[in-house]
Amino acid sequence: MQNPTSGIHHITAIAGDPQRNLDFYAGTLGLRLVKRTVNFDDPGTYHFYYGDRTGRPGTLLTFFPWAGAFRGRSGAGQATVTAFAVPAGSLGYWEDRLEGSQVAGVTRRELFGAPTLRFTDPDGMALELVESRIAGELNVQSGSAVPGAAAIRRFHGTTLTLRGVDATMQVLAEVLGLVPAGEDGAYQRFAPPAGAEGGVVDLLRDPNAVSGSLGAGSVHHVAWRAADGAHQLRLRGEVLGHGIGVTPVVDRQYFQSIYFREPGGVLFEVATDGPGFLIDEPEATLGEALMLPPQYEAERPAIEQVLAPITLPSAKQLPVEA
């Protein structure tokens, strides 16, 4: 494969109450809200982007929050776990922090030799923090409630639950250029080519798994990185070459996107690294204002009236831990 992706660009999920989602991810987990915008296909709801200080690809977890949304069901054909990389030795801090915040389901385990802390967000979405000796450079916002020595650095990866894995493995290897990286029990791992630290994908084969359903607490899609538009078009050609339907390029303002569904049922996106989140806001105030794409700017008063008011955790004077 001549044009491999360098890993995960972002993961997008569905949430319930917007304020609760914001309090958990920007407050409890210490991620930065780097963009507050709307769902470009449904401007009556928010689209939140959380990441590192500047929202670099590989750090971005995004949400469509709908207050009162029904819970989704985790199952086959879905990304069922989202994992972040944290520095080696930091799980003790995180265990205390999460349990002190009454986060549900906090348990330790080891997967592929790495200490891992699993828990769920307020909507029941499964998350993991994975200790990594190469967690990545510190690029978190100053004033975070989480100290830099323990702060989330980037994605560690995602887990796909599938009834069968062979066709998906072929797409990961031959379309995206990921390479096999070992097995651990029922898990088969694929990773970006050597030198890339963009996140792994673990395939969990479960022939008896019930089908997953979308709703609050479920992942909508997993997006993979393309360096630029030309790289994205080459990857699009690889998708078509495998007989898989794929969308035309869609303008998402902060990146360009294409979408396709891999054989196991998980929706994949390929997104360009640029132009990024600094095209319409300065770094110092990322996420503080509602940013709209040009096609919705004339409708701003009506959109702002529909969207629920929110308060950034920083405005609530969260304590900064030493």
pLDDT digits (tens, 9 = 90+) for 35-44: 999 999 999 9
Q: What CATH number belongs to 8-316? A: 3.10.180.10
Q: What is the pLDDT of residue 96?
A: 98
Provide the residue ranges of all domains of the chain, joining segments of one domain with +: 8-316
Residue whose structure tokens are 């348990």: 107
Q: What is the pLDDT of residue 197?
A: 72
- Reported as a single tens digit per residue, the pLDDT across 22-78 is 999 999 999 999 999 999 999 999 999 999 999 999 999 999 999 999 999 999 999
- Reported as a single tens digit per residue, the pLDDT across 106-156 is 999 999 999 999 999 999 999 999 999 877 777 887 778 899 999 999 999
303: three-class secondary structure by DSSP: helix
Nearest of 174, 167, 160, 178 to residue 239 by alpha carbon: 174
Sheet holding 78-87, edge to edge: 107-111, 114-120, 126-132, 78-87, 154-162, 200-205, 187-191, 179-184
φ and ψ at 191, to 5 degrees?
A: -140, 160
Statement: residue 79 has pLDDT above 70: yes
Statement: residue 321 has pLDDT above 50: no
Question: Pairing mode, if any, of strands 154-162 and 78-87?
Answer: antiparallel
CB 176 within 8 A of CB 235: yes
pLDDT band at residue 322, thresholds of 50, 70 and 90? very low
For residue 186, how far is the Cα from the chain centroid?
Answer: 23
User: CA angle, 124 as apex, 310 and 304 as ends, to 5°?
Assistant: 20
The arithmetic mean of pLDDT across residues 283-299, rounded, is 96
The enclosing H or E element of 8 equals strand 8-15
Stated pTM of the model: 0.95
37: three-class secondary structure by DSSP: strand
Q: What is the pLDDT of residue 320?
A: 32
Give the whole-angstrom CA distance, residue 218 versus residue 24. Answer: 16
Q: What is the pLDDT of residue 317?
A: 36
Give the whole-angstrom CA distance, residue 85 versus residue 308. Answer: 32
Q: Which residues of 73-97 are buried (b: 16+ CB within 10 A; e: fewer)?
A: ebbbbbbbbbbbbbbeebbebbbeb
Region at 112 (left for phi over 0; alpha for psi -120 to 50; beta for the rest)? left
The arithmetic mean of pLDDT across residues 178-204, rounded, is 91
The arithmetic mean of pLDDT across residues 281-294, rounded, is 96
Q: What is the pLDDT of residue 194?
A: 76
Question: How far are the Cα atoms of 135, 144, 151, 279, 314 from residue 141, in angstroms, in the given order?
Answer: 16, 6, 10, 19, 11
Q: What is the pLDDT of residue 314?
A: 60
Quote the mean pLDDT of the chain.
Answer: 94
Who's near 253: CB < 8 A, 6+ residues apart? Answer: 37, 40, 279, 280, 293
Least confident window among 95-99, 277-281, 313-317: 313-317
Least confident window among 86-90, 91-95, 254-258, 312-316: 312-316
CB 175 within 8 A of CB 226: no
Q: What is the DSSP string of 244-289?
A: ---PPPEE-SSEEEEEEE-TTS-EEEEEEEEE-GGGSS-GGGTTSS
User: CA angle, 76 as apex, 26 and 78 as ends, to 5°?
Assistant: 30
Burial of residue 215 (number of CB atoms within 10 Å: 0-12, 13-18, 19+): middle
